[in-house]
Structure 1
Amino acid sequence: MTTNTATVGAAAITQAAARLLAAQRDSTPCAPVRDLIGRADIPAAYAVQTQIVEHFVAGGRRLVGRKVGLTSPAVQQQLGVDQPDFGVLFEDMNCPPGSPIEATRLLQPKIEAEIAFVLSRDIDAAVTAQTVPQYVEYAAAALEIVDSRIVGWDITLGDTIADNASSGLYALGDTVAVDNLPDLAAVTMSMTANGAVVSTGVGADCLGSPWEALAWLANTSREVGAPLKSGEVVLSGALGPMVAVTTGHAYAAIISGIGSVTATFTDGGHP
């Protein structure tokens, strides 16, 4: 758990954070940070993430939510890990519907489809998949554009946690009020790139259900003293394999019972 004590010193944690921050600042992927914090020292990895988040908040970026990562067996297999992680979302990560996304904002983007939740109130008590819906206002079809500051996506669990769970950008699409949601374990997802199917999955691929992912995040966040707050956006994790982003391509995901979401990537000029 993230409440355990890191086995590395403060200097290593600071060096790892500095390496990742430099990669983002210079738009140049860096070497993995596992040489500094280890491959699976989860407390150390979250300590690095915290330093990075604090740096950005001090610089004026505003926190608006959280993300759960590594919930899909397919994505875990792709990255060679066996448990979920979490990161934070900043206001400037949100990509408004219909607005092209400049690929130059990212280093090594990949895209995945998932369900996002917007919270109606603080989650200030322990929850389960059965009770956490009472804290949700609505769900949305979402695309998460994950990114890695680490060259070649050469990551272990420690590397990706330190790197804010490989957060990049996100886009929200159609929404459904919580009382009208279908069985989220049973929803199906299909994502296309320029009309060709590139990823498929079902709700059960996300820790058994996106509700399970939200409950895991809510409980873990409470344990580390950062409970989920009213109005926050939560990306609950991939419903299928992530795919590399190609500039000039338009991506669209359809999630049964919820709706669709789209994102188009440009080189900074026209789509």
Structure 2
Amino acid sequence: MYKVDLSFPYRDVQIKRGVDPKDEYILESEIGRGKFGTVYKCTEKSTGLSLAAKFIACPKKEDRRNVEREIDIMRALQHPRLIQVYDAFENGKIMTVILELIEGGELFERVIDDDFILTEKSCTIFMRQICEGVDFIHKQRILHLDMKPENILCLTKTGNRIKIIDFGLARKFDPDKKLQVLFGTPEFVAPEVVNFDEIGYGTDMWSVGVICYVLLSGLSPFMGHTDVETMANVTIAKYDFDDEAFDEISDNAKDFIQKLLIKDMK
């Protein structure tokens, strides 16, 4: 498998409080925006290194705590398949996280791009890397809890190396303590999330199975007309391989998906 070096050596990131990130970084073009905030390409003044700056408005203490938790979790996740954190600031009611810059776009964009044919072989290459990343996350006793194609970025526009991003919903996990969550993306969440049952490492692995199904077929296995319908399909684990998209897909690939999309996490 491709060896990918970390973009920069390990950094024990501590949040710089009361410091304006613009003192240390030059902001360039906006590269993304979502419910979490806005991301800009930036350059570190002292080194010339190109990075990404994510600005998150934190009007409430709880918002700030969420960002602090995300940074804390990312500090434990030094791995070439995972996006790396470089620096962090708290400046008034805005927190800024400086991240590794990844410019190849979402894996999801390739799935829906008619010009880009995802062969089963290329899906295998993506899935292996996704599993390597998730395996490392789990070995640190962390659950990602928002695995979906939008949270997998390609390193380059044409290559097939990836990185898992967005640890905003991630949680530290103690197998001896019961953890329940009620969040995620309906199409990709496991039955135990919808049912508000105990979650675990299998919760991420279910999502990995859904991602594999989507990559191979371009279809979403549990998608209903509404979120409620989608979640109902998830709770009964109702899906099939009937679409012609699966005509050419190997039994091995279907077996991989079937072994992940199992209703009972245990």
TM over 0.5: no
Ranked by relative contact order (alpha carbons within 8 Å, sequence separation 6 or more), the top structure is 1
TM bucket (normalised to shorter chain) is under 0.3
Name whichever structure is richer in strand by fraction.
Answer: 1
* TM-score normalised by structure 1 residue count: 0.28
